[in-house]
Structures are given as C-alpha cells and as structure tokens.
Amino acid sequence: MFNELRLGILGSGKGSNFLAMADAIREGTVPAQIAIVLSDVAGAGILSLARERNLPAEFIPPGRYRTKLDEESEPAFVRALQAAKVDLVVLAGFMRVLKGDFLRAFEGRIVNIHPSLLPSFPGLEAWKQAWDHGVKVTGCTVHFVDAGVDAGPIIGQQSVPVLDDDTPARLHQRIQMAEHELYPKCVAAIARGEMSVQGRRVVWK
C-alpha cells in the first residue's frame, strides 16, 4: 500500500493554514494525512479546528521562555511528533523558534510559511513591515527550516501586489489567501517527491 506522508502541524493561532491543508487533503490534492496537531497555546483556534475534524490535537505547555520552547517542552513536542510517526513537520503560525534538538530530530523535514517574500522582512508582522517600507509587491514564502529565523531553502513563493489604498490588515488578508494556495501546493510537491535540495536551492523536478 502507498504510504502517505504523515504531517505534524504546529500552530499558535487561528489555524487558517491548517484548515487550507486539511481541505486540500480531503479534496485529494495533497497526498498526505494529518497525524497530529500541536500547539503551545491552550486556547488556540488551530486546536479546536483540528478537534472538530476528529484529528488528534494536543496542547503542550511551552515552559518559561517567551520566544522558544524550554528544556522540558521541546523534547515533549519531539516525543509527541515521533509517537504520531510524523514524516514532515508543518509549521503553520507557530510563534516559537525551534532549537537544536528539535531541528536534529527532524532534520530537513520541517517546513514553514512566512508572510513575505523572503529574504525580505523576516520576523514578526512581515506584512506590516512590507507596508511600512512601501514596497509595491510582497507575498508569502514556504521554506525548509534551519537554525536561522525565517531562513532555510525556499520551496515556493507567491507574490501579492500592495495596492495604493491598502491597509496592513487588508494586505495581510490577501497574503493569507495566497498562503492558503501556496502551502498545500508545496506540501503536495514534497509528498510526491517532486523536489530536491541542492545546497541552498530547492529544485522542482
């Protein structure tokens, strides 16, 4: 039997990218299954959305730091993902930086989506950074995760024009619509083995 890629989705927020992925899987455009959804925020929308779909969803306390998982939390995330036999970790609005042991446990098997055309505007509220900067085009990026922040080989990008009468909120909304198309497309390509990483470059076959 064909072994579908098992996804572990991590998020801290409302979970619209999770939803887009779950819908694409249900529609058959992404040959994968969601093995587990994890969050560092007990009341995160992503957990309730996952539970509504009868998917295993767990809150794991992040511990005592603000921007990363602490020494007990990080191994707990890794154990939960391994117990669910996750092949690919999909970060969907996970607001903490992953460190050494996590990265080593899933080396080359962690992807993230970021709301700008990287390497422009890494970090928080990238749509707001783009709007403040006055760029005319921004967008979103799916990339493999390495030890840098919003770094790592770029898998795919989708551009979004900045309109003259935009507000950061409206721009963010359109970037999210682009994210919901791009992320499933990129994960589908990984699931089908349609890409290889050559140094910094991801080459689609």
User: Where does this chain bind ligand GRF (CB under 6 A)?
Assistant: 11, 13-17, 46, 92-93, 113-115, 140, 176, 179
Do residues 175 and 138 lie in contact, with contact meaning Cβ atoms separated by under 8 Å?
A: yes
- For ligand GRF, which is the closer residue by CB, 36 or 113? 113
Describe the chain by its helix, strand, coil percentages, rounded to 5.
Answer: 35, 25, 40
CA atoms within 13 A on the CB side of 67: 4
Cβ atoms < 10 Å from Cβ of 201: 9
- For ligand GRF, which is the closer residue by CB, 89 or 193? 89
Q: How far is the CB of 177 from ligand GRF (least distance, A)?
A: 11
Q: How far is the CB of 115 from ligand GRF (least distance, A)?
A: 4
- For ligand GRF, which is the closer residue by CB, 92 or 154? 92
Active-site residue identified among 114, 143, 172, 180: 114
Query: Is residue 114 among the annotated active site residues?
Result: yes
Q: How far is the CB of 185 from ligand GRF (least distance, A)?
A: 15
Residue nearest to ligand GRF (CB): 93
d(CA 49, CA 57): 9
- For ligand GRF, which is the closer residue by CB, 75 or 125? 125
d(CA 102, CA 57): 19
Taken in order 189, 149, 168, 65, the sign of the CA dihedral is positive
Taken in order 92, 98, 101, 103, the sign of the CA dihedral is positive
Q: Which residue has the tokens 């925020």?
A: 41
Q: How far is the CB of 149 from ligand GRF (least distance, A)?
A: 12
* Residues that are catalytic: 114
